[in-house]
Structure 1
Amino acid sequence: MRIPHLLVFIAFSISAQNKPLEIKIDYINSQDSSEFLDREFTIIYHIENLTNREVSFFLNTKSLIPSTFSSMQYKPTYLLFQENNPTEVSQLITPRRSPARFIGSTQKAQTELRNINNDSIKLEIQKWKADSLYFWKKKNKDLLKAIFTLKPKEIKQFTYKLYWNKIRYTKNEDLEYYLDEKSIYSLQIGLTLLKKEYGDRLYPTELKAILDNPNFIEGYFSSNKVEINFKE
C-alpha cells in the first residue's frame, strides 16, 4: 500500500487541528566534506506531547526515510519542497554516503562489504529454514520494540544526518529532475502513525490491548518546512 504524496499532505493538514502531537524541525545545518566530496546535513527536530496524558504510538526514530518509501513503515519520513511544491526526488539526499564518491574507497573494500551483506542474508535464510515463523516473529519483535511513549507535555529531541553527493540531475524510470541552484528548497518531516494496519504482525492479544488503549494514538502529523542548502 502506497499513500500518494498529495493525499498524505492533505491528511497532514487536516490532522493539524486538535492534534495530540507536534513535530518540529529546530534547524538544519550543512557542511561540505572534502574527504567524501559530499554535503552533510545535520537535522535537529523534536516531538512534543501536547496533551495532559501519556501517549504511545509505533515509531522507530533511529531512521529517517524518504516519503516515497513510507508504505507501512513506522519511521519518520522526509519530503523535499521546491519553493512551496512537494517533489518526488527526496532520494537525492540519503542516510548513507556513496562509497563511489569516497576518495579512499577501493574495489576490495566494496567487495568485502558485499560479502558481509551476502553472509547476513544466508544466516537469515538458515534461521527461517529452522523456524518457519522466524520472519514473522522478527517483525513482531521489531514492532513491539518500536512502541514509543511520551509523558504529558514531554518533548524529545532527535538528531539525524543526511547526505547529498552534489549531483543535481537524477532520473528514475520516467521521472527526470534537476536540482536547480537558483530555487529555494525546504525539507519537511512527517509521521504516519498506524495501529490496526499492523494487525498481521501482532498476536491477537497484543492487538486487542493496543486497540483498547485510548492513549495509543494514530494519525498523520507533519513538521514545519525548513530551508535546506543545495547552493554551490
Structure 2
Amino acid sequence: MKNFFLLLFPILFFGQNKNLTVTINQISSKEVNSQNTIYTIDYQIENVTSNSVSFFLVPNALIANTASSMTLFPVYKIYQNGIFEDMDGPFFEYETEDELTLATIENRNSQEFKNLLNKIQEEKNILANDVYKKYQEEGGKNEDFLWVYYNHKMLSNVITLGPNEIKKLSIKTLWNKNRYVKNDHLEYYLDENNKIEMELILDLKTNQFKDNLSEDDLAKINANPNFITGIFVSNKMEINFKE
C-alpha cells in the first residue's frame, strides 16, 4: 500500500497544477507543386484555470522535438504505428507566409526566388533597425544590436489567456515529399502504409531565456504567479503522407 501512494502522489500533484490543455483539431494538406505539400495544423490552447495566465510562445510555427532546445515554437513529435520517431523533420519552422512561399519555389536560381528572398531580408533588416532605434529613444542601455532585437522578439511573443479562455491557432508548414529523414547516423522513413500521427508539445520556459531579457523584465515575470512554465502535451492526430 505504501508503494501505491508513492506512485499516486506525483500523478495527483501534476493534475492539480495543470494550467493549460492543448488540442490538435485538424491537420489538412494541399499540394502546391510536384515537390511540395503545405500542411496546416489547426489547434487550440485552453486556460483551464479561473485566473489569467501568460507565457512565451511563437504560436504559428513549429520545430521538431530533436531540435527543440531553447525554442519559443510549439514542438512536434512524429509517431509511426504508435512508435515515436525522434527525427529532425519532416517539417521546419516558417514564421511568415513569405518564408513559406519562398520554400515552395522549386528553382532557387529563378528571379522569383531571388526577389522574394531580398524582400524577406529587407523587411527583417528594417524591423531590426526600427526596434533598435525605438529602444534607444526610450532610454534603453544595452548597445548590443542583436540582444535588443531578440529582447523585442521575446517580449512581443507573450500570450495571455483570460480565465477559461480558448485560443484557436494555426501553423502552416511544408513537406518536400522526401520520405527519408536523416539525423547524423540515424535514418527514418515515412512509410505511407503506416499510421503516422503528430503530437504537439508546449515546452514553456522563462528563466532559460534570461540572456535575452533585462534584469527588470525577468524580475517582473518571476514576480507574476500567473506567468507560467511547464510542459503541456496535445492529443495525437493522424497525418497523411500519401501522394
Q: TM-score range by the shorter chain?
A: 0.7 to 0.9
Contact 2:89 2:181 in 1 (8 A): no
Q: Is structure 2 residue 78 aligned with structure 1 residue 80? A: yes
Q: Conserved in 2, the CA contact under 8 Å of 1:80 and 1:90?
A: no
1:189 counterpart residue number? 200
What are the Cα deviations for residues 157-200 of structure 1, in whole angstroms up to 9, with x where unaligned? 01222222222123332122221121111001111111111222
Aligned to 1:10: none
Task: Work out the percentage of aligned pairs sharing the same amino acid.
Answer: 35
The equivalent residue for 2:139 is: none
Residues 90, 228 of structure 1: alpha-carbon distance in 2 compared, 3 angstrom cutoff? farther
Structure 1 match to 2:3: none
Q: Superposed, which structure 2 residues align to 1:1-232 within 5 Å? A: 17-18=15-16, 19-33=18-32, 35-94=33-92, 95=94, 96=100, 98-99=103-104, 101=106, 106-112=109-115, 132-232=143-243
Residue type of the partner of 2:24? I
Which blocks of at least 5 consecutive residues in structure 2 are unaligned? 1-10, 95-99, 133-141
Is the CA contact (8 Å cut-off) linking 2:85 and 2:188 kept in structure 1? Answer: no
Equivalent residue pairs, number: 215
User: Taking structure 2 as the reference length, what is the TM-score of the superposition?
Assistant: 0.76
Task: Identify which range, 133-142 or 14-23, moves more after superposition.
Answer: 14-23
- State the distance in 2 between where 1:198 and 1:36 align: 40
Q: Secondary structure, in 3 states, of the residue corresponding to 2:15? A: coil
Cα distance in 2 for partners of 1:200, 1:51 equals: 30
Cα distance in 2 between the residues matched to 1:169 and 1:205: 46
- Which amino acid in structure 2 is aligned with residue 203 of structure 1? S
